[in-house]
Structures are given as C-alpha cells and as structure tokens.
Chain A
Amino acid sequence: MIRDATGRFGYTPSLVVVVSAAAVVALVSVSSGAYPLSVADILRVLAGRDASDPVASMVLLDVRLPRFLLGFLVGAVLSVSGALLQGLFRNPLADPGLIGVSAGASLAAIAVIVLGGTWLGGWLALFGEWALPVAAFLGGSATVLLAWRIAHRAGQSAVATLLLAGIAINAVAGAATGLLTFYATDDELRSLTFWTMGSLGHAGWDELLIGAPFMVLAILVAPWLARPLDAFLLGESVVGHLGYRPDRVKKAAILVVGLGVGAAVAVSGLIGFVGLVVPHLVRQLLGASHRVVLPFSALVGGTLLVAADSLARVVVAPAELPIGLMMALIGGPFFLGLLMRRKVM
C-alpha cells in the first residue's frame, strides 16, 4: 500500500489515481448512452473528419459532451460546498441537502417558475434568462445564513440544533413548494418535477453557459478559504486567536456555497448525497486539511456524479433514471459502509 506514517494515502499517487479515474469516467460517459456509437465513431467525430454522420457528431458534441461537463461541475461544486459547510459547522453531517440549502434554492427557483407570470413578473423582467439561477443562488444563500444563525445561537449544542434546524428548514421549504405546486398550472408542474427530482437529461451548452461561470468561480475560490477553515475545525474562537476574521471567513464560505449550490440547483435540480459522501471519503483517505479536502472533493465529486449519470442513462435504456435517485442508490450503501469502518469522523 502507498499509505504514509499517518495511515493516509500520499497526495501525488492519489492525484494520479483520481485524475485517471476522472479520465476513464469521462471516456465512459461520452462513449456510453442509449444511442450506439462505437469508439471508432467517436474518434472520427473528435478528429472532425466525419461529415457523413452528422447525427453521431450531434449526439457526441451537442448532447454527451455538455452533459459530461455539466455533470462534472455540478458534482464538483456540490462536494466542495459540502466540504465547506462541514468545516464551517465543524460537523461532518452538514450537507447542502441536509441543512436545507438545496431546498431553499429550489424553492426560490420554483417560486419564479410559478409566480413569474404574476407577482414575480418584475423579477423575470429584471434578470431575463438569468432569473432562475439568480433566484436559486439567493434562495441558497439565505438558507445557509438562516441555518448558520440558528446553529450559532445555540453555542455548544450546535450539532443537534443544526440538524433539527435543517429538518425544520426542509419542512418549511417543502411545504412552501407544495403550496406553490397547488397554484401551479399543469405546464408549470411539469417544470417543477425537474427541480425536485434532479436531472441532467436536458443538459446542453446553454445550461453550461449559464451555470458554469458560477460553479467554476465557487470551485476556484474555495481553496482560498482552506487555512481559515482548518482553524474552524478547532472552534470559532480559535479562528480569531489564529489571526483570521471569523465573520469574514463565514461570509465568504456562505457566499461560495450559495453561489455554487444555487447554480447547481438551477441547472440540474436537486441532487443529494454527493455533498455529504465525497468530502467524507476524501477525509478518510487523505486527511482533514482543507487544502487537500477541497480540491480532491471537487475531482472525486465530479467523477462520481458523472459515473452515476452514465449508469442512470444505460440501466433502463432507452429510458433514463433520475440522477438524484441513482446518486442515493450508489451513495447510500457506500456511506453506511464508511460509517461502519470509521474510527473518527
């Protein structure tokens, strides 16, 4: 084994393994799907030498490629957000889904879909095609802030309070979503299903264009918070003693999570579990330092989501499984296994 004295895997070999896995999954993802394309077909299209089969080039370049990229970004940003929240709350159970951030983001998006024609018409006029991502982003940020406030107020018992707050936030957001669906027309309901189930099924270059800037920004900014977040693992007061400004760190992390999760929800709906499982896995193998956890979570999370999506596309072909369902099917048992083997969180 290539474990070092701490029982962890070395960074360089791990990086090689993770990047290779990402490359393999990328290949599998663009070469598998309901529509049959041989490796030769793919190579021909990629070489740009094949004008005789425009459908193959469309499937590959217009559907599978943006879907792979979007899936990777969404997986990466959800994992990074999970890692940020877990560090911020000093709680390995914090996850965008669990504390209600995703629910808040999707509630905001649903509100825009259902009320866009009436009360929120001004919002649509103001933001145009950005109305949904911006709403999801604001909804996500507001929920992180709320969860933080509640957990912070409770002081020492923050762990339990946080989870209870999450349950309450999820319940309220769920109820509000239900209320909105009650007033939704059939047409609107159709779009709502997508938000609550999670899907990459309509992913295209447009979605990528809208969501990618936010998500890439969130993924790139996060490592800047690694050192103060490490300090957060020792407690909020220690953050200040070590020369950081806890409030600034908190605000930055909340902004990044709101931005990233909001954008992810905006383009792919609700996808759970990846934000919880991936940082956990990375910490088990490589340690808890955020300088390692954040970049590796991005890589592993992206790879895992793309792998799950590739599976979701082929198991019931020609139909597709919802990606959220697939993620829970893979992530759930995996997480349980991890819990049973663990020594410390």
Chain B
Amino acid sequence: MTAIAPRREDDSLQLKPRRDPFLIILWIILVTFALVWIAPVVLIAFTALKSNAEVMATSAFTPPQEIAWNNFSGAWARGNFETTFKNSVIITVIKVPLGLMFSAMAAYALARIRLRFGKLLLLFFLFGAMIPFQVMLAPIFTLVNGFGLIDTYPGVILPYLAFGVPYQVFILHGFFKAVPKELSEAALIDGASHVTVFRRIFLPISLPVLAALLILDFVSTWNEFAMALVLLQDRHMWTLPLGLMSFQGQFSTDYGQLNAAIAMTVFPAVLVYMIFQRYFVSGLTSGAVKG
C-alpha cells in the first residue's frame, strides 16, 4: 500500500488545476457559434422596435432610440395575422400530437411486437425519410388536388403527417429498442396487453424523447413554407410563413413591420420550447433495471 501513496512534492505542484487546452478550444468554438446564432435574433429584436426611418438611418445593431410599438399592430393587420395565426395554430395543434402518436405506436409495434415483415416495414418507413420533399411537391399537389383537398386543413395536414412520421418512427424505434426487454416482458406477465404496455410503460419512460420530437416537429410544422405555398392557394387559408410574404413589396419593404411580424411568428415556437424543455431530463429509466 505504501508504494502507491502519492508523494508530497507532487501535491504542491498540483495546487493550481491545469486547464485542458482541448476544453479551452472547445469553449472558444462554442462562444463563436453562439455569437453567430445570437446575432440575427438581436437584429430582429432591434429592427422590430425601430421605425422604418430609423432602420435606414442607423446601423443594424444599434439599439432603437424610440421604441416603435406600432410596428406590431401594423404588422398584425398587414400580414392578416388574425387569419394566418389561426390557420397555423389549427394545423400545428392537430398535426403535431397526431403525428407523434402515430409514430410512437408504429415504433412500438416495430420494436416490440414480433411481426413477420417487421424489418421490411421499418425499412419502408425509413425510405420515406430519404426522399427530398421538393421532389414530391408536384406529385403531392396532383394527389391532394385529386382528392379535392386543396385549400383545406386536411389537404395540408395529411402530407405533413406523411413527411413527419418517418423520422419520428426512426428515432422512437431506436429508443424503444433500447428499453430493456424484461420491462415489457414483466408487464406482459403481469397481465398487460400491448396497448397497456405501450400506454403505461413506454409512453411515460419516453417522455424526454417525445418532448424533444414535439419541439422539433412543432417548429418545423409552424415554419413550413414550401408545401403550404403549393397546397394553400386561398389567402384565407394561409399560414404565418405565407403571411410574411405580404411584407415584401416590389418597390418597398417595411423592415420594422417585417421584423415585428417575424418576432410574432417565432414567439409561439419559443414558448413551446420553453414549456417542454423541462421534460428533457435524463435518467427517466434509471432504477428500472440494474445497469
């Protein structure tokens, strides 16, 4: 035992902890990236609070001298936000939970129920995530038009679901596969059906993943532009990102109002993020099985 006792002179040398140069570099990179990401947010916030004249006169990163709150009311009216906001909310609130539910159920079945063509089915789902949706825009339009669903909520929700499910199934399948199989076996022996196992065991322990997917899906659905542009022709059916187009005139652009509109568009996504990020707690399965 005495042979491995630390020597005293080593202790005195170790008083000041040495910083790992790798960590320092990592921090520098992190701060740089953070600045790059924060800059546009600051730009939007400042510009949204400036009058158009002040936008033209001052630099982009100068804080506003006189706060122009009327940008927001102006933007609300000009962007027809009453309608577009409502449309966005309806589409997102239906699509996001519905899509997550489908994905979770499909992922559970693929991960935990022995199916004859399970692997093939999973591959089929994954294939859906590999096709760039731009390629599909024209066929989707034809299809949705064929069903007579152009300018309707189902006409845009259904394609959204189809494009959202594959990557969610992929992620949830991976997560469910990693859940110890004894956990579902114990529940099956306890008399649970697969529906009960899914609802009572798998959903509660996958809350962190579901919260992450919900945030990602909310943001991407809320901000989706291209498909909405193709499928929603009637102004009364437009979503928020389409409404933003009203601020880009051919000869003039009101930057103050445009940025106020962007700020209002982004706000709900930030809110959802803040509500659900508390579910990002690790170790929800800790204590289930030894390991």
Whether A and B are associated in the same complex: the answer reads no
Which residues of B line the A interface, CB within 8 A?
none
Which residues of A line the B interface, CB within 8 A?
none
